[in-house]
Chains A and B, each alone.
Chain A
Amino acid sequence: QQPVQSPQAVILREGEDAVINCSSSKALYSVHWYRQKHGEAPVFLMILLKGGEQKGHEKISASFNEKKQQSSLYLTASQLSYSGTYFCAPPDSGAGSYQLTFGKGTKLSVIP
């Protein structure tokens, strides 16, 4: 089942913070996060693991909610280069699964 991302789109000024949510109907064992700029390939940002461990981008963090059915991506002090569409992708059948199911994406626009 495809995870649901919110908001669908957000506009920020440089230096502002943003939160992108990724909700699932079942518990999440881990979540991948990717960013895609227009016309380009997605770029891996980070993996959030079940115990809260994170592997990836230094300036971006993520967490699970209490029931682990939602993950949130935190972008702090946004830069123009943060613009793009952000996708969450939980593994289909548990952490370590080779099948990721991508959400429809959240379009982030950072303006001067």
Chain B
Amino acid sequence: DGGITQSPKYLFRKEGQNVTLSCEQNLNHDAMYWYRQDPGQGLRLIYYSQIVNDFQKGDIAEGYSVSREKKESFPLTVTSAQKNPTAFYLCASSIDGWSGYTFGSGTRLTVV
């Protein structure tokens, strides 16, 4: 079955370290997204990509970076510049801007 795979499910990071979250999809979707979710909050957009080799900043891009070298993959790097990185990170994809999103199961990042 097609879907989105995020790994790892849980991730612990020491302060000052960069960490990369993986997101892979086999839905043949052009668009991919990264959202951050904090307790009691909605989802906030970090970055999105409409097509390979192109991506745009979302509302909270500071301290994060992405790449889109392949249609299937959209990894997110949480850099040491992100002041409060502990959160639940969700990757999603869609056919286009008119379609519903399919979400991955998420990565829960904890900074220790």
Chain A contact-residue range equals 20 to 34
The answer to whether A95 and B42 have CB atoms under 8 Å apart is no
Q: List 26 A-B contacts (CB under 8 A).
A: A2-B42, A30-B98, A32-B100, A32-B101, A34-B101, A41-B104, A42-B90, A42-B101, A46-B100, A47-B98, A47-B99, A47-B100, A56-B100, A87-B43, A95-B98, A97-B97, A98-B33, A98-B50, A98-B56, A98-B97, A101-B59, A102-B35, A102-B43, A102-B44, A103-B42, A104-B40
The answer to whether B50 and A44 have CB atoms under 8 Å apart is no
Given the known interface contacts A98-B48, A98-B50, the answer about A41 and B42 at a Cβ–Cβ threshold of 8 Å is: no
Given the known interface contacts A41-B105, A98-B31, the answer about A87 and B42 at a Cβ–Cβ threshold of 8 Å is: yes
Chain A residues within an 8 Å CB radius of B31: 98
Is A99 located at the chain interface by the 8 A CB criterion? yes
Query: Chain B: how many interface residues by the 8 Å CB criterion?
Result: 26
Give me the interface of A with B, judged by CB distance under 8 Å. 2, 30, 32, 34, 40-47, 55-56, 87, 89, 91, 95-105
Is B58 located at the chain interface by the 8 A CB criterion? yes
8 Å CB contact of B43 from A30, A42, A46, A91: A42
8 Å CB contact of A99 from B40, B48, B90, B103: B48
Interface string of B32-61 (1 = CB under 8 A from A): 010100001111110010100000101100
Is B106 located at the chain interface by the 8 A CB criterion? yes
A97–B105 alpha-carbon span in the complex (Å): 24
